[in-house]
């Protein structure tokens, strides 16, 4: 049955007219709605209700009829629509259903004209008084409404506020709200009134009384490449000068072109391109744009530059993208290590599928991207253009500053265009860069605007009235002037016949108040279907594709193509010469502001639906390379979800799609920027219910990104939560994976006891399952934790087990890690053949291009060489590791390598360097810690201070040193912290405290105790506790030169304490020889001092004095003043006895 829309009668399906009322039975069409900026005029009679209360109804009608007619006449005269008469009040709307760029002004002028007309009516004997108000704001407009039949057209707070402002207006006056005044202050004279309190408003509302209308001004122009450059000669010279400096001086230059929308930034870049293109030299020009999606599509502009260099199309498969990327890199560098290093960071920008499971930290990415740009510029001058920088992600801003600051000896010009909003968010942009220039574009002068108009119309003689009108309205902004001319042409007010221009100008000539108003006016000249197509395009973004619009609208190819051609003719969109999607036509909005205005007009519900359609099209188009477009998909789904929620709807299927897109974007970002990956994972976690099985995976990833971001405690908690979630699901492999991650995070924080327990729990699960990569990682990490806890027994065998399984499963990365860990276990156990294992690991990591692990493994090699050959050999490897880490941008690994240099520098007697290195590491720790790196730095700094007599400085470091060391339960951190704290306590006169600290150290791991045996025994003896010294040495089995030397020195001290001076002297002599060859300067001095002391006690004054003098010389070179004083005391006593 068909229901009659007029009377409600039900009719047969075949009926065309209602059988009851005879009205046509038409199909109901969905009501078309748009969001528009409108100005609402309210006029209400004052005191008329009480007057008409006792009047005859016909008399009331006779009085109101001419009043209503006059109001309607004045409102329609200014292009307004009478929405409704409510008794003696009238509501009119300006800007709906068709917008004009000066709707706010029209509303105010209509209101003022109504006030004037009431004066005229009084002269005719109709004495009426009114209050009136105009308010401007956004409203939802029903485009098909029929106000003349009582149907409402606009809805929104703008209507209610206008009504209440009218109630607050003085009698006989017209008042206006803030937005209205802001839009019309150039053409209307106002006086401010006291703010008023309105119902429903949380704070007083400002209002102004409109006094009178005055002359108009304002408009804008965006110069096109087809037009001559006007008024920008000096700015172009600055840009060309920067290019010249970059090329001739081979120094990077950064130029930021700043100005309001439409002021000519893109035109200036186009002029630079023409200048560069005309040069005889081969010059590379790479251009990218930042997308205006709120927090931004991270690094999209940089990705466009890489894709252009590699010739990658959006429609390429991941494999094809990878092939092109690798070919492009190969063309730029012959260095295999460079190629391997660049692959992962660059592939993350272009969606290439290159196998690499490493998490690339931000500093790694910056270093790689900079290297890529430098390689391009090595072949010749390079110009990099980044458009719309105000939309850029902070990561891109940081990278551009990094690139320009650190790149050297290359002809590189980086040009960025931005709106002033950039500096609201980033006040320090390019601040402090000596090679940075800012070009601020100001409005054109009057003469320049006139010349621009002449060129724009291609006329030698432009009608004077048109010139004056445009000059008056342009305000020096090129886009305003050009858009104004186009609007006149679209409306048929400017007609060209041959070389003659005919223009129709009258008092109702529209006045562009802003670009948005101009664009809105132009959009309302389109037919509904074409405008709807443009709205779907606006949802896609500034750039869109015909195929996307076909899918989103359900229209056929030919009709979409025809409409796009018409829109291009109207210069609302333009077709790109090439498309990033093979076989599809690519278009872009003529200006981003056009897109913004179109998008703003779409109701939220329709927007949400269209965003889902856009996301679906991107997913289908991207196919296997969806990860490259994941952030775009996230943008569309997030907008859809947000808009749906605002409309009190929560579409579960869209939230599911958003969740998938967020996880895909997070995985992609993980290779490029872990902080951004962390943000995506967090947003995904917010969409996953607690009972959802996928939540455990996301928590695990969040734990990893949190740890990389330096939030260790949060990372451990998230890993624990992930393990619990897996356990509840019965996923034993997942639970083990989470426990292993928790183990690594805990170990890095110095919590090796907790790490060991986590690994044991994981092994209990994994050994009951088939062999897996997780099981290999568990065995390998178990070796690592055993070593750091000093548990050498069984560590080599465990390393063998892990390595065998890694080989069996064909896990190249795990195999390299196993070689490294087993090599350390062998060396620490006294088998120096383990050095070969570590060398193999280094080769494997280099082949895999994992420079983070190359650095870590080289530091491990440094530690082993320190034990076997001495601090000089270890320091050489550390410096190499630091160079590799810094070259690849691995900041954290470079810091760890520096921390390792502290022991080498200290033992080599380079104490000034030790303090400088420690200070830089402590500063880093204050910013990024607390971290074991900071503990190591404080340990060696305190040791130097104590031995040089700076006791107060040393004492100040001990509380934090002990607190961290004891809380860490990591033997490699705790033992040195305890012994050095004992050194400091003894230097400060705290014998009891020093004794207690050595006693605490004596029950720690025998392996780590050996490192500090000589110092610990000296402290115990000086405290009068030789039995403590012997207990400290209990169970120590030295297998390496470093340990044998320490035990030898400790034994010499004990022999001297027992009074066996001859044995002690011989041991000190051997220790002096061994320490001298090994390279530990302080211990060499101690051994000489001990031998001299014993020889003097045996009566051998000549050799005794010689030994003490040699020791004094060493201590003096170190700046160890307390030890120099001790030597002087011995030498002084000996001299006195000789006398």
Q: Residue 788: pLDDT above 80?
A: no
Count the helices and strands in the chain (H runs, E runs).
49, 20
Do 1011 and 1081 share a domain, yes or no? Answer: yes
Quote the percentage of the chain above a pLDDT of 90.
Answer: 42
Task: Find the CATH number of the domain harbouring 1073.
Answer: 1.25.40.10
Instruction: Find all residues with CB under 8 Å of 571, minimum gap 6, and list them.
Output: 486, 590
285 bridge partner residues: 383
At 462, the pLDDT band (50, 70, 90 cuts) reads low
Instruction: Find all residues with CB under 8 Å of 153, minimum gap 6, and list them.
Output: 81, 83, 93, 96, 97, 141, 142, 145, 147
Residue 624 lies in a domain: no
Residues 299-319: tens digit of each pLDDT: 888 988 999 888 888 778 888
86 in Cβ contact with 43 (< 8 Å): no
Residues 423-441: tens digit of each pLDDT: 877 888 988 888 999 999 8
Do 130 and 272 share a domain, yes or no? Answer: no
Q: Average of pLDDT values for 970-986?
A: 93
Nearest to 231 by CA among 444, 454, 467, 457: 444
169 in Cβ contact with 134 (< 8 Å): no
Residue 76 lies in a domain: yes
**3-state SS class at 36:** strand
Kindly report the average pLDDT of the chain as a whole number. Answer: 85
Instruction: Find all residues with CB under 8 Å of 512, minimum gap 6, and list them.
Output: 101, 102, 218, 219, 220, 473, 480, 483, 484, 487, 518, 521
678 in Cβ contact with 669 (< 8 Å): no
Rounded distance, CA 223 to CA 338, Å?
A: 44
**3-state SS class at 438:** strand
Phi-psi region of 483 (alpha: psi -120 to 50; beta: other; left: phi over 0): alpha
> For residue 1029, what are its two tokens?
């010294």
pLDDT of residue 889: 62
What is the residue range of 244's domain? 233-440
pLDDT of residue 523: 84
Do 366 and 297 share a domain, yes or no? Answer: yes
391, 415, 440 — which closes off a domain? 440
**3-state SS class at 491:** coil
Q: Average of pLDDT values for 383-391?
A: 91
Q: Average of pLDDT values for 1105-1131?
A: 95
- Cα–Cα distances in Å, from 627 out to 202, 621, 623, 771? 46, 12, 9, 30
CB atoms within 10 A of CB 107: 33
Do 278 and 182 share a domain, yes or no? Answer: no
Do 265 and 408 share a domain, yes or no? Answer: yes
Do 298 and 347 share a domain, yes or no? Answer: yes
User: 1031 or 339, which is more confident?
Assistant: 1031
Instruction: Find all residues with CB under 8 Å of 1013, minimum gap 6, and list them.
Output: 1032, 1033, 1036, 1043, 1046, 1047, 1049, 1050
Angle at 668 between CA 666 and CA 674, to 5 degrees: 60
Residue 773 lies in a domain: no
In eight-state DSSP terms, residue 22 is -
pLDDT of residue 49: 54
Query: pTM value?
Result: 0.69
Q: Residue 701: pLDDT above 70?
A: yes
Quote the percentage of the chain above a pLDDT of 70.
Answer: 89
At 816, the pLDDT band (50, 70, 90 cuts) reads very high
Q: Kindly tell me the sign of the dihedral angle through the C-alpha atoms of 566, 571, 576, 580.
A: negative
Q: For the chain, what's the residue count?
A: 1139
Residue 701 lies in a domain: no
Task: Find the CATH number of the domain harbouring 47.
Answer: 3.30.70.1230
Do 124 and 140 share a domain, yes or no? Answer: yes
502, 519, 536 — which closes off a domain? 519
Do 183 and 251 share a domain, yes or no? Answer: no
Do 992 and 937 share a domain, yes or no? Answer: yes
Residue 243 lies in a domain: yes
pLDDT of residue 296: 41
Residue holding tokens 């240099």? 901
Residue 200 lies in a domain: yes
Residue holding tokens 């790694």? 364
> For residue 622, what are its two tokens?
């991207």
Phi-psi region of 462 (alpha: psi -120 to 50; beta: other; left: phi over 0): beta
Q: Average of pLDDT values for 826-851?
A: 90
Q: Residue 969: pLDDT above 90?
A: no
Residue 886 lies in a domain: no
440, 463, 496 — which closes off a domain? 440
Task: Give 3-state DSSP helix, strand, coil % of the chain, rounded to 5.
Answer: 65, 10, 30
Residues 743-761: tens digit of each pLDDT: 988 887 778 888 889 999 9
> Omega into 403 within 30° of 0, i.e. cis?
no
Q: Average of pLDDT values for 586-598?
A: 81
Q: Average of pLDDT values for 694-719?
A: 85
Range in 186-200, 218-232, 273-287, 559-573 with the lowest mean pLDDT: 218-232
Do 360 and 503 share a domain, yes or no? Answer: no
At 511, the pLDDT band (50, 70, 90 cuts) reads very low
Residues 842-872: tens digit of each pLDDT: 999 888 877 778 888 999 999 999 999 999 9
Q: Residue 542, class by beta-carbon neighbours within 10 Å (0-12 exposed, 13-18 middle, 19+ buried)?
A: buried
For the CA atoms of 719, 725, 730, 733, the dihedral, rounded to the nearest 10 degrees, stands at -20
Residues 319-366: tens digit of each pLDDT: 888 899 888 888 888 888 888 888 888 888 887 666 655 555 677 788
Q: Average of pLDDT values for 452-468?
A: 73
Q: Residue 967, class by beta-carbon neighbours within 10 Å (0-12 exposed, 13-18 middle, 19+ buried)?
A: middle
Do 507 and 418 share a domain, yes or no? Answer: no
975 bridge partner residues: none
Residue 836 lies in a domain: no
Q: How far is CA 862 from the centre of its chain?
A: 36
Angle at 399 between CA 395 and CA 402, to 5 degrees: 140
Nearest to 537 by CA among 613, 634, 452, 638: 613
Rounded distance, CA 967 to CA 930, Å?
A: 12
Q: Average of pLDDT values for 195-205?
A: 86
3 bridge partner residues: 10
Nearest to 232 by CA among 254, 209, 200, 259: 259
Nearest to 926 by CA among 916, 935, 939: 935
Phi, psi of 3 (to 5 degrees): -95, 130
**3-state SS class at 515:** helix
Task: Find the CATH number of the domain harbouring 353.
Answer: 3.40.50.300
pLDDT of residue 626: 83
Number of domains in the chain: 5
At 939, the pLDDT band (50, 70, 90 cuts) reads very high
Q: Residue 473: pLDDT above 70?
A: no
pLDDT of residue 220: 29
Do 1005 and 1130 share a domain, yes or no? Answer: yes
Q: Residue 120, class by beta-carbon neighbours within 10 Å (0-12 exposed, 13-18 middle, 19+ buried)?
A: exposed
First to last CA, the chain: 133
CB-side neighbour CA atoms (13 Å) of 858: 27
At 525, the pLDDT band (50, 70, 90 cuts) reads confident
Range in 375-379, 524-528, 1012-1016 with the lowest mean pLDDT: 524-528
pLDDT of residue 878: 94
């Amino acid at each position: 049955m068909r229901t009659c829309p007029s009377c409600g009668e039900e009719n047969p399906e075949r009926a065309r007219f209602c059988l009851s009322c005879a009205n046509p039975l038409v199909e109901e069409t969905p009501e078309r709605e748009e969001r528009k900026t409108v100005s609402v005029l309210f006029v209400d009679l004052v005191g008329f209700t009480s007057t008409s209360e006792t009047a005859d109804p016909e008399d009331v009608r006779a009085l109101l009829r001419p009043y209503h007619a006059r109001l309607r006449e004045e409102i329609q005269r200014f292009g307004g629509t009478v929405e409704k008469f409510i008794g003696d009040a009238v509501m009119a709307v300006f800007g709906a259903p068709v917008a004009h760029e000066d709707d706010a002004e029209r509303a105010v002028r209509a209101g003022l004209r109504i006030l004037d007309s009431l004066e005229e009516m009084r002269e005719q004997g109709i004495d009426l008084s009114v209050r009136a108000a105009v308010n401007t704001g956004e409203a939802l407009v029903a485009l098909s409404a029929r106000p003349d039949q009582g149907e409402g057209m606009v809805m929104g707070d703008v209507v209610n506020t206008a009504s209440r402002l009218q109630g607050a207006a003085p009698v006989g006056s017209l008042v206006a709200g803030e937005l209205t005044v802001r839009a019309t202050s150039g053409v209307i004279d106002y006086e401010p009134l006291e703010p008023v309190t309105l119902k429903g408003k949380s704070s007083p509302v400002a209002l102004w009384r409109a006094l009178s209308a005055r002359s108009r001004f304002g408009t804008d122009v965006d110069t096109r490449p087809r037009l001559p450059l006007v008024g920008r000669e000096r700015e172009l010279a600055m840009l060309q000068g920067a290019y010249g400096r970059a090329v001739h001086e081979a120094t990077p230059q950064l130029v930021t072109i700043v100005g309001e929308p439409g002021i000519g930034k893109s035109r200036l870049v186009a002029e630079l391109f023409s200048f560069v293109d005309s040069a005889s030299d081969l010059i590379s020009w790479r251009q990218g744009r930042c997308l205006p999606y709120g927090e931004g599509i991270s690094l999209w502009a940089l990705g466009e530059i890489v894709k252009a260099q590699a010739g990658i199309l959006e429609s390429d498969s991941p494999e094809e993208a990878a092939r092109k990327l690798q070919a492009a890199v190969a063309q730029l560098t012959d260095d295999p290590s460079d190629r391997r290093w660049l692959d992962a960071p660059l592939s993350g920008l272009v969606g290439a599928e290159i196998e690499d499971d490493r998490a690339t930290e931000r500093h790694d990415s910056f270093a790689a991207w900079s290297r890529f740009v430098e390689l391009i510029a090595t072949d010749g001058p390079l110009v990099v253009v980044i458009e719309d920088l105000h939309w850029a992600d902070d990561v891109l801003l940081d990278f551009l500053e990094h690139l320009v600051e650190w790149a050297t000896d290359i002809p590189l010009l980086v040009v960025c265009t931005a709106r002033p909003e950039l500096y609201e968010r980033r006040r320090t942009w390019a601040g402090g860069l000596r090679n940075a220039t800012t070009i601020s574009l100001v409005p054109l002068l009057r003469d320049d605007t006139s010349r621009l108009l002449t060129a724009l119309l291609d006329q030698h003689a432009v009608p004077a009235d048109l010139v004056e009108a445009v000059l008056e309205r342009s305000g020096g902004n090129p886009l305003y002037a050009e858009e104004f001319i186009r609007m006149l042409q679209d409306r048929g007010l400017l007609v060209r016949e041959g070389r003659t221009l005919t223009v129709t100008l009258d008092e109702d000539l529209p006045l562009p108040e802003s670009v948005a108003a101009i664009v809105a006016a132009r959009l309302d000249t389109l037919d509904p279907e074409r405008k709807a197509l443009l709205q779907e395009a606006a949802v896609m973004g500034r750039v869109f594709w015909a195929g996307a619009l076909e899918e989103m609208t359900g229209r056929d190819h030919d009709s979409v193509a025809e409409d796009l051609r018409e829109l291009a003719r109207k210069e609302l969109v333009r077709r790109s010469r090439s498309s990033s999607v093979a076989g599809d036509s690519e278009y872009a909005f003529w200006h981003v502001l056009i897109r913004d205005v179109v998008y703003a007009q779409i109701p939220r519900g329709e927007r949400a639906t269209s965003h889902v359609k856009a996301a679906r099209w991107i997913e289908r188009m991207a196919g296997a390379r969806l990860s490259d477009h994941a952030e775009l998909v996230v943008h569309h789904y997030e907008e859809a979800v947000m808009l749906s929620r605002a409309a009190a709807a929560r579409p579960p299927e869209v939230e599911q799609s958003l969740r998938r897109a967020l996880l895909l974007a997070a995985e992609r970002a993980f290779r490029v920027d872990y902080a951004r990956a962390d943000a995506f994972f967090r947003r995904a976690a917010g969409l996953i219910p607690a009972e959802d099985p996928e939540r455990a995976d996301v928590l695990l990833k969040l734990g990893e990104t949190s740890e990389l971001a330096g939030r260790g405690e949060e990372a451990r908690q998230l890993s624990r939560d992930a393990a619990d979630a897996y356990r509840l699901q019965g996923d034993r492999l997942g639970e083990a994976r989470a426990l292993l991650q928790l183990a690594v995070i805990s170990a890095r924080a110095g919590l090796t006891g907790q790490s060991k327990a986590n690994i044991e729990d994981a092994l209990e699960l994994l050994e009951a399952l088939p062999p897996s990569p997780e099981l290999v990682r568990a065995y390998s990490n178990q070796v690592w934790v055993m070593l750091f806890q000093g548990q050498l027994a069984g560590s080599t065998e465990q390393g063998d087990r892990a390595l065998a399984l890694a080989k069996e499963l064909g896990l190249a990365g795990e195999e390299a890690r196993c070689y490294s860990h087993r090599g350390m276990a062998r060396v620490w156990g006294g088998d120096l053949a383990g050095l070969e294992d570590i060398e193999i690991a280094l080769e494997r990591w280099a082949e895999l291009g994992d420079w983070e692990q190359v650095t870590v493994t080289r530091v491990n090699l440094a530690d082993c060489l320190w034990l076997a050959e001495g601090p000089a050999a270890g320091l050489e490897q550390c410096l190499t590791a630091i160079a590799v880490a810094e070259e690849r941008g691995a900041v954290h690994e470079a810091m760890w390598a520096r921390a390792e240099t502290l022991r080498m520098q200290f033992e080599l007697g380079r104490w000034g360097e030790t303090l400088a290195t420690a200070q830089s590491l402590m500063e880093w720790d204050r910013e990024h810690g607390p971290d074991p790196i900071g503990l190591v730095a404080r340990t060696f700094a305190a040791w130097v201070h104590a031995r040089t007599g700076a006791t107060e400085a040393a004492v100040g470091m001990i509380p934090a040193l002990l607190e961290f060391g004891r809380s860490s339960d990591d033997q490699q951190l705790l033992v040195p912290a305890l012994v050095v704290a004992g050194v400091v306590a003894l230097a400060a006169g705290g014998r009891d405290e020093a004794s207690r600290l050595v006693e605490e150290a004596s029950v720690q791991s025998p392996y780590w105790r050996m490192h500090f045996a000589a110092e610990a025994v000296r402290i115990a003896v000086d405290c009068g506790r030789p039995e403590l010294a012997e207990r400290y040495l209990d169970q120590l089995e030295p297998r390496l030169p470093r340990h044998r030397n320490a035990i030898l020195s400790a034994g010499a001290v004990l022999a001297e304490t027992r009074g066996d001076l001859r044995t002690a002297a011989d041991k000190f002599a051997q220790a002096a020889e061994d320490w001298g060859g090994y390279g530990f300067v302080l211990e060499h001095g101690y051994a000489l001092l001990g031998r001299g002391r014993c020889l003097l006690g045996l009566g051998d004054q000549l050799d005794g004095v010689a030994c003490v003098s040699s020791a004094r010389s060493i201590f003096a070179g170190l700046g160890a003043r307390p030890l120099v004083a001790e030597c002087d005391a011995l030498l002084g006593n000996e001299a006195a006895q000789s006398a």
